[in-house]
Structure 1
Amino acid sequence: MTDRPQTGAEYLASLGDGRTVVLDGERVESVPAHPALAGTAATIASLYDAMHGPDADVLLATTPEGVRTHAFSAIPRSRADLRAQREAIRAWQRMTHGWLGRTPETLASHLTSMAAHASFYGAQADAVRGALVAHQRGVVHHVQALVNPPVDRDLPPDEVADVFLHIVREQSDGLVLRGAKAVVTGAATAQRILVSHFGGEVRDDGFAIACTVPVGAPGLRLYARTAPAHADQPLATRFAEHDALVVFDDVLVPWEDVLIRDADTMLGHNRGAVGWNARLAFQSATRLEAKLEWIAGLAVRATEIMGTTSIRGVQAALGEVIAFRHVVSGMRDAMIEQAAPVGDEGLEGGRAWGPGVEPALAFSAYAPDAYSRMRVTLETAVASGLAHLPVPADGLAAHPGLAPLLRGSAGADAGERLAVMGALWDAIGTGFGARHELYERSHWGQPERTHVGILGLARATGRVAEWQRGS
């Protein structure tokens, strides 16, 4: 492994690792060549190539160990580092318009937080440090597998051994895992899976496992279904991420890849002891910022094409969408301004800095409902314009008589109308768009959990007591 980011070609070649991907019930022979996966794989490859292009200085940072990596994959040592990480995330997210939820820097939120608090992981501390270094070298594309399949949710996780992921046996060379994880976004086009647990708290060490696993590991199988897309859907053809069921059939995980092995550590890890939640919110807010910028720009042009921009209600709807972008951006920047030193003392390069937890939790509570409201707002403001798509944008040549009937206002011809409205429809109205609303709504799990966490933090930090004294 080199001490530089992999190229797009190297990433695509790595997907030919013998992985077992079953899409729509059929085995995928080649991920980069499959019609439903090729667009996303090519998009991710372009992100890797950008780290070797003119934006390299924005995208990259050098670790104290001398590894040149994506800036977000380095442990931040100051607010200035967090600002640089914001710009590196932005650069990638504006290439994808925020539509890929699992770009290769995403899971650095977990790996950097864990390595900055390596002593918390006890006997697995060296494995935690090693996992980050292995990710930094090449910017290995991880996705996460946290959620148990939606079955027997009325039982503790460690009482559902016939379905949920657990340790079958412990060997001198590692742990053998059996069971399944659900809704593993983007697994088919990833290189490794960061396996952990989130949901009902485990009490049995046999179910409290966090590790990293190659997607091509023997015994690992991915099952997913596509969201049907037409060739003229500009988002679905480039950015579709399929949510997979990942099945572990006695998969051996070497000890150097085992990050958590006991229930107490897993509980503390999930309750914010190392701050991965805030780091993930920092990355997610920057991604959503890019997504909302793209949607807002397209929505404004859509109303210009319809000739409705002078209508006060339409103006108010567009302003609300733009305000959503501003709120997300502001909460992310508040995470920088409220950042503080965290983690282990004596860390090479200086102590880590973590984003502010209060604005991170506020973002995770606010964004899901706001995204759904944004979608309804645009459906109301653009209305029939989203349905006025009688032919694909590339089908006009075969029907020249339609062009005069499909022209738009504000100088738009039929081609632009179909392209703009088709893209906006793909964003909010197609199966791709509906899946993204579900993704944003489910990104932080149960809303009640987030809200309870906000209350708990306010009590623990003395906020509630302060407010009560002032009332």
Structure 2
Amino acid sequence: MPVRTAAQYMESLKDDRSIYIEGERIKDVTKDNRFVGAAETMAELLQMQHEKDLKEVLTYNSPTSGESVGMSHIQPKSKEDIKARGDAMKVWMDATCGMLGRSPDYKNVMVSAWAAAAKSFERETFDGSANIKNYYEYVRENDLMMTHVLVNPQVDRSRPAHLQESEIVAQIVKETDAGIIVRGARMVATLCALANEIIVMPAAVTWQTNEEHKTTNYAFGFAIPTSTPGLKFICRPPVGHLSAASPMDGPLSLRYDESDGVAVFDDVLVPWERVFLFRDKEAEAVIRGKTGAGPHALHQSVVRATSKSEFMMALALAIAKSTKIDEHNHVQVMLAETINIAEFARTCRIGAEAEAHETQFGTFAPAMRHISLWQGMFWKLYNRQCEIINTLGAGGLVGVPSYAELAGEVKGDVEKYFQTANADSPKRIKLNRLAYDAALSSFAGRQRLYEQYYSGDPMRSMSLMYRMYPKDEHIDRVHNMLDDLEKRQNPEWPKQDSGAAFNRNWK
């Protein structure tokens, strides 16, 4: 089938999935106000693929069915394909202010990369190569939305999974002719309430025992529908202000709270055709290294970061202009800082796409050098943009009333006392409620935490960048310069008429 419509997506969520939040099971996430805002936002993204002026950017023709499928599924065969994919992702990211970390394209690019590297799934313990290729085609042709879980529950990080209390960490407890039986939990399933599929890939495993069969219970990879019997999701409370008198009081949080949850597997049957990795001690290395999927997923992230930092920059500029504080030098310095951050993210994207290279799998991948630069720095820079917005807005962020007051008994007072030099009261209240939502609210706090940890521990990412960076050539440059100067030093130095300290280096 071609790309789905908004209505088709919303209907797909009515599948009796097990979603729990705030002490209750939700029967229909499309009607619950804790999920419906983000659900409708996701639906809008899919609907954009049908718009006449966007279809060519957001879709391409399937190589098997000829139908229109999402551009983020493409297996890029050139730099131009990488750029086209980035352009498509930018449309979605601009439409959501970069606030949706788990927009559909995030997992799409990852699965397409795994499928392109299907040979990496030909393992001694299990050949999952055909399964990953079939799964890629299935989600591409049906325009399905995916979530994933990669991390074990935070119980005791001082010990490996197999030495902790039994059956907390998701593990294989049985094998049958139909498939594997999985029991335990994984985190964090962002978008779990709104996804059609969940991908479960290897968490970090420490091999410290000779009980190989027992420890490989944790070494697997698979994908199943989110409505699979025995699978439940326990979600955190919403970060949106659900009792807000006006939707304009939470313009971001009421639309972009994609939700996070813990996936609980209660003896879930995973059919063999949905298994990608099985009892493989190198399973994590396959996913994180051998397939080369990382640069593709982070390509989506750097595009999202570009949109997000551009939005935060624009918000800072608007806040400063509203009260004319942008006329002060020290404020201009802060505003310039937000501009620098946005341009930094944009430059990382441009570099990653411009220096894309061919991989061993015959596809092209964005240049990791530029992506690593962004990955190591952006979460700090995003925090700084939030701090600047808080500084510029100051008391105005908490001093403005609900937008609903403009229709209440004190409308006259509100219109008089909440105007600014460059904005009337309605415009100023909307702007400050937006700034509060973006930089100071619980939604903002979740965004900041997400940017810091969604792609792993930033300290490990920086350490990995250090280990992979071609350091020797740069170190050699320093020593070569010193050796050359040593050869050229003037033996008469420092006599008054001896000339320069180093002999000239030209003929």
TM-score range, shorter chain: over 0.9
Q: Partners in 1 of 2:459 and 2:260 — Cα distance?
A: 23
The partner residue of 1:362 within 334, 350, 373 is 373
Superposed, 1:143-154 pairs within 5 Å as 143-154=147-158
Q: Rate the CA distance shift 1:159–1:61 in 2: closer, same or farther, 3 A.
A: farther
Write the deviation string for residues 183-238 of structure 1: whole angstroms up to 9, x where unpaired: 21110011111111334556732111111111100001111122251342111111
Residue 251 (structure 2) pairs with residue 252 (structure 1): no
**Partner residue of 2:471?**
464
Deviations 1:312-350 (A, max 9, x none): 121111111121111111112211122111143xxxxxx
Displacement of 1:426 after TM fit?
0.1
The match for 1:18 is 16
Q: Report the counterpart of residue 49 of structure 1 in structure 2.
A: 47
Aligned to 2:238: 226
TM-score by length of 1: 0.94
Q: Give, in whole Å, the separation in 2 of the partners of 1:64 and 1:287.
A: 27
Q: Distance in 2 between matches of 1:114 and 1:255?
A: 18
Question: 1:52: Cα distance to partner?
Answer: 1.0
- Partner of residue 452 from structure 1, selected from 463, 468, 492: 463
Letter in 2 for 1:241: E
Please, which of 396, 399, 403 is the counterpart of residue 393 of structure 1? 403
3-state SS of paired residue (1:263) = coil
283-292 vs 255-264, greater mean Cα deviation = 255-264
Aligned with residue 383 of structure 1, among 373, 394, 398: 394
- What's the % identity of the aligned pairs? 26
Measure the CA separation in 2 of the matches of 1:343 and 1:173: 34
Q: How far apart, CA to CA, are the structure 2 residues paired with 1:275 and 1:313?
A: 45
Residue 277 of structure 1 corresponds to 294
* Matched-pair contact (CA < 8 Å) for 1:292–1:325: yes
1:371 lines up with 2:378 in the alignment: no
1:234 aligned counterpart, secondary structure? coil
CA distance in 2, matches of 1:68, 1:201: 43
User: Contact conserved, 2:319 with 2:392, CA < 8 A, in 1?
Assistant: no
Gaps (5+ residues) in structure 1? 345-350
**Cα distance in 2 for residues equivalent to 1:448 and 1:292:** 22
Aligned CA-pair RMSD = 1.5
Calculate the TM-score normalised by the size of structure 2.
Answer: 0.87
Deviations 1:348-403 (A, max 9, x none): xxx211111222222211111211222122212322221221x2112212122221
Secondary structure (helix, strand or coil) at the match of 1:272 reads helix
1:408 to 2:420 alignment: yes
2:89 counterpart residue number: 89
Deviation at 1:436, TM superposition (A): 0.6
Instruction: Quote the residue 1:169 is aligned against.
Output: 174
Q: Aligned ranges for residues 66-465 of structure 1 at < 5 Å?
A: 66-122=66-122, 123-160=127-164, 161-201=166-206, 204-224=215-235, 225-229=237-241, 230=244, 231=247, 232-344=249-361, 351-389=362-400, 391-398=401-408, 399-400=410-411, 401-410=413-422, 412-458=423-469, 463-465=470-472
Q: Distance in 1 between matches of 2:294 and 2:380?
A: 19
Deviations 1:59-88 (A, max 9, x none): 001243234211111101100001100111
| Mapped contact 1:198–1:270 kept (Cα < 8 A) | no
Distance 1:143 1:20 in 2: 15
**Distance in structure 2 (CA, Å) of the matches to 1:383 and 1:197:** 44
Asked if structure 2 preserves the Cα contact closer than 8 Å seen for 1:274 and 1:343, the reply is no
**Deviation of the 1:98 alpha carbon:** 1.1
Partner of 1:347: none
Residue deviations 1:254-294 (CA, integer Å, cap 9, x gap): 11111121334423224422222111110011112111222
**Mean Cα displacement is larger for which, 17-26 or 393-402?**
393-402
| Cα displacement string for residues 402-424 of structure 1 (whole angstroms, at most 9, x for unaligned residues) | 211111112x1100000001001
Q: Is the 8 A contact 1:24 1:226 kept in 2?
A: no
Deviations 1:422-457 (A, max 9, x none): 001100111111111111111222122112211221
Matching residue of 2:497:
none
Q: Structure 2: 5+ residue runs without aligned partners?
A: 479-507
